[in-house]
Structure 1
């Protein structure tokens, strides 16, 4: 019976495809092909990326070199370090079938674990018409709010993460666009009780993200996301583990506002409960849900708020500068144990010289301050980065 239904489905699909093809062929004006006309190539390859050389000076020891993370300070002791690196460089390869419009794309950088230079997968996806499936920037992200910076991470309060997903995007007109996506069920980052009960995180339900954008050069974009958090729990060692699911939620608003042709503001504001891992400052830190300090047999979701304000000004066609503030705030004191991040503030300025579309050079100067729950001492660090970038 299953074979019959499968066969009927194939037949109907073939017939429908043939009918659509016939309609398309009939609608095409018949022109006489000349000897000078070349047939359309069915496959097309494109190669893109950039080579970036960085010279970095830090006044504190940071565990992570490529990209500024003030939360990665080993201690608050002032010690000066310098690094030469090209790991931020990226290579991308795309392949498109011109007959169907199907496109595949893969992108790597060279940021390996423990500050090693190794290829790392960034993007790998397939697109067809309005659909995309694979690993790309989350539907929460608004990449147009990325200012003309040289640092790999940018403002730490931004929500820039890459995820496996299935996404549908629709442009209603030049000013209106919406998108919806199902994203990696492994997104939540939680902390489980350290005891003999053996609780386990369980990847069960995907994240749901919807976004809407209004405007053209100046615009506003909003996004909402739901993140089911599933884990196996029990109250004593004699019980069987049972699946428990709680729902994390979040909202994200972003905008680019042009003051004039050479100046613009880039704005981000986000808030949520149980979805802090989407913020660069809190990514994969286990802060979406933590053990309840009053009852270790349950988890409490932590609230977060983050905001970015960046001003980008082009002095002329070749010179630009950016100044930004970034703030990330997490949790309630009664649920946050000692050492959990409380507040991460990050400011920066830069100047970039870009004589052509394929080359730019300049510097970023950044400074970060980190507060942790139930600790009175703040940690702070600064970084000066010089970079040269060749794009292709």
Structure 2
């Protein structure tokens, strides 16, 4: 007999009995999947950790590279605010100028290829029977390189400069106008010390003024030579002491020239006093003799009205080659004895600014012999200059200057020269 209730119960019981192992299987499968996922995640985490290590390694390598680049960058050329070159810790300055000159001279004055420079020796070549001569030149153009480097708590400075007034042997004015370079300056300084070739410590640039006949006025102390110099600054100035190359009539002497200078600077202007002692010797293989000579120099530069200034210079003593481009000899020799030659020199230079870009300088200088001399020695030497300088744009100066030179010898012979000088200077 069919009993539905019993049948359903049986089916239900069977289903339940069948479902029990199926759930267990599903739970087992779920457990297996979770374990696999966990293992996979662990693998991925390990991979991520390895990847992170690689990233950190790359970052470290990049940092090292940046430091190396930065270190290399210290030697890359850059510019300072003033326009100089900076290489590491060394500042490199390149400068100079191009200067074109033209002169129109009387009395046949044309001293070879250096006719733009008038010396007492070249002045003696003039001939009043001859007419005017014109000359063009760019030999005064110059080039210089300077460096400054911090070294041991101070600054090491070097400077080298050349122009083109070198030997004339290979020069010509027919085709190439070739001129040899000439050393002007070559020195190094560190702290208070300077060694090398530069302006003599006996010379004060403040006494020269702005004239195209640079260093050619009669009383100018104008010498560049090798030396060892010590400078001690003090409030309002400096004290200098130097041993410099000795020279007398083409002969090196046994002791260096000994020079001391004291400089004073302030809003009132500049003043300087220098003294020199030099031993003059005669040693020609037949006679020996020596004498000590001394010389003194006083210079000043003082502001006057507006931008104007006046420059003064007075020199006295055994000046010889130091003054006036060797207007007077260092010494005379006679009967196996040597005797120093004393001379004196005075100059005044006034500069007036017509405008900020237009200015003029008026200069007069006179020197004379203060010892007994032979017939053809210089007894007196005078120079006078007046100019007009115009700087229409930066680093450029155009000039015209009238120049007068008068020289008289002990025997009464005279030599004079009138000259007009034109110039165009371009600084870089």
8 Å CA contact retained: 1:157, 1:308: yes
Larger relative contact order, structure 1 or 2 (CA cutoff 8 Å, min sep 6): 1
Structure-1 separation of matches of 2:314 and 2:210? 19
Tell me whether 1:351 sits opposite 2:396 in the alignment. no
List per-residue Cα deviations over 1:150-182 (Å, max 9, x = no partner). Answer: 234342310011010000112212x22111110
SS of residue matched to 1:140: coil
More strand by share: 1
1:388 paired with 2:427, answer no
* TM-score with structure 2 setting the length: 0.73
SS of the residue 2:344 aligns to: strand
2:257 to 200, 207, 229: 207
Structure (1 or 2) with the greater helix fraction: 2
Matched, 1:248 2:298: no
Gap change, CA 1:202 and 1:87, over 3 Å in 2: closer
Q: CA 1:280 to 1:357, structure 2 compared with 1: closer, same or farther past 3 Å? A: farther
Alignment of 1:205-354 (within 5 A): 205-217=255-267, 218-232=269-283, 241=286, 243-273=288-318, 275-282=319-326, 287-292=329-334, 296-332=335-371, 335-354=372-391
Query: How far apart in 1 are the matches of 2:160 and 2:121?
Result: 30
* Alignment-derived partner of residue 164 in structure 1: 226
Query: Does 1:189 find its partner at 2:249?
Result: yes
1:360 aligns with 2:369: no
2:42 maps to what in 1? Answer: none
Return the alpha-carbon distance in structure 1 between the equivalents of residues 210 and 417 of structure 2.
22
Q: What SS class does the counterpart of residue 144 from structure 1 fall into?
A: helix
Q: Secondary structure at the match of 1:282?
A: coil
Distance 2:406 2:364 in 1: 12
CA distance in 1, matches of 2:365, 2:418: 14
Structure 1 position 146, deviation (Å): 2.5
Q: d(CA) in 1 for partners of 2:293 and 2:110?
A: 31
Deviation at 1:106, TM superposition (A): 0.7
**2:180 counterpart SS class:** strand
1:113 aligns with 2:167: yes
Cα separation, 2, equivalents of 1:70 and 1:289:
17
TM-score norm. by structure 1 comes to: 0.79
Instruction: Give 5+ residue unaligned stretches, structure 1.
Output: 1-32, 191-200, 235-240
Q: Which whole-Å CA distance do the structure 2 matches of 1:357 and 1:203 have between them?
A: 46
Aligned length: 332
Unaligned runs of 5+ residues in structure 2 are 1-66, 75-86, 172-178
Alignment pair present for 1:76 and 2:76: no
Larger radius of gyration, structure 1 or 2? 2
Q: Distance in 1 between matches of 2:288 and 2:116?
A: 38
**Counterparts of 2:110 and 2:295 in 1: how far apart (Å)?**
30
1:99 CA displacement: 4.0
Aligned residues: CA RMSD = 2.3
- Give how far 1:203 is off: 2.3
On the 8 A contact 1:161/1:280 being kept in 2, the answer is: no
**Alpha-carbon distance in structure 1 between the residues aligned to 2:394 and 2:195:** 30
